[in-house]
Chain A
Amino acid sequence: MTTKVPAELSSTPGIADSSNATAITIDSSERVGILQSSPTSNLHIGASGNDAKRELRIDGTNGSGQTYGCIIEADGENGRFVFKVGQSGNTPAQQFMVHPDGGICFGSDTAAANALDDYEEGTWTPQITASAGSAGTAAYSNQMGRYTKIGNKVFFEFQVVMTNKGSWSAYTRVLGFPFTVTSGGLTAFAIARFPDDTIGANMIAGELQPSSTYCFFPTGSRLDTLHDISNVDTGYYLVGAGHYTI
């Protein structure tokens, strides 16, 4: 490659060049390499030797002088992409990092288990069914379910009206939760309305079952009896909300 130095650049005070090797390369496709003689992107910062990290540093000022601003660091050795921010001239500290296994770690954390790796919003369709029998002529109205998934937590809300109980029997349940509940243990959630006027002074709660996408409804004075669909009144709302771990 021929090194060309335009006369107007070689003598300008605007560029201070003390290099003893090529630092900047512009190829025939007008891609610019910094410490990279064969750039493959429009701007390509190269790395070589034992130094596994390359940084892009942007300084700020505090109104009277230069301070450290932020550093974007490519940590090739650990496969990390790190964002550091400094204040009042202090050396920038890691604020967050893109983890090589996916997700974002906050602060100086590097644990894959703590990386926030998903966010999703959507809808789901709640159905009142039961633990035995079959759908038959079961019918519903006002089926509305919403969820927001943040990492391994699913936040949900739903409402549903059963207009025909079909051939379902035994324990009342709601099917259709958007993600499978983690294994081991039950997950409780709150009920705002429940279609049964025989509950009286008893309590009622939602209880998501492990490794599944459905819940039962414990009731009674100790919440230790599962609600039976024979007591569901058609035409009334079942409304609930909560969150669970996947």
Chain B
Amino acid sequence: MAITKETVVDKIEVLEMGQVQVRTATVIKEDDIEVNRTFHRHALAPRTKSGDTWGDTDISGEDARVQAIANATWTDDVKSAYETLIDSQTP
């Protein structure tokens, strides 16, 4: 009986304002038959604000596919629109 555990990014969603939502699945298999699957989520914004200063979101630790999608999605226009949206909504 061989029990294995693997972690895979199984869903990457891009929202209207450029936020990237990532779902990571942890899959437990017994003799190659899946016996359990659990999900963990996190999200990435096109820009990150610290104090009054906007900066690029650090995605260096993300899965390669997440980085590729984020880099393709986060154009200057998308980043600018996101900053404007958040600044208009955040106290």
Contact = CB atoms under 8 A, between A and B. Distances in A.
Interface in B29-60: 38-43, 45, 49-52
Contacts of B19: 180, 211, 213
A134 interface: yes
Contacts of A131: 49-51
Contacts of A226: 91
Interface residues of A, number: 27
A170 B52 CA distance: 11
Interface string A150-191: 000000000000000000011000001111100110000000
B39 A213 contact: no
A6 to B, nearest CB: 44
Contact of A213 (B38, B40, B45, B49): B45
A210 B50 CA distance: 17
Nearest to A207: B91
Main secondary structure of the interface of B (DSSP, over half): mixed
Nearest to B43: A213
Interface in B1-49: 15, 17, 19, 21, 23, 38-43, 45, 49
A180 B89 contact: no
Contacts of A133: 50-51
B43 A180 contact: yes
Given A180-B15, A180-B21, A147 B41 contact: yes
Contact of A120 (B39, B49, B82): B39
Contacts of B42: 124-125, 176, 178, 213
Contact of A179 (B40, B41, B49, B91): B41
Contacts of A211: 17, 19, 82, 85-86, 89
A209 interface: yes
B90 A209 contact: yes
A170 to B, nearest CB: 6
Contacts of B39: 120-123
A180 B82 CA distance: 13
Contacts of A169: 51
A36 B91 CA distance: 64
7 shortest interchain CB distances as A-B pairs:
A122-B39, A132-B51, A178-B41, A213-B43, A210-B89, A180-B19, A123-B40
22 contacts: A120-B39, A121-B39, A122-B41, A124-B41, A131-B50, A132-B52, A133-B50, A134-B50, A147-B41, A169-B51, A176-B42, A178-B42, A179-B41, A180-B21, A183-B17, A183-B85, A183-B89, A211-B17, A211-B89, A212-B90, A213-B45, A226-B91
Interface of A: 120-125, 131-134, 147, 169-170, 176-180, 183-184, 209-213, 216, 226
Given A180-B15, A209-B89, A211-B17, 11 more contacts: A122-B23, A122-B38, A124-B42, A132-B52, A177-B43, A209-B90, A210-B89, A211-B82, A211-B89, A212-B45, A213-B42
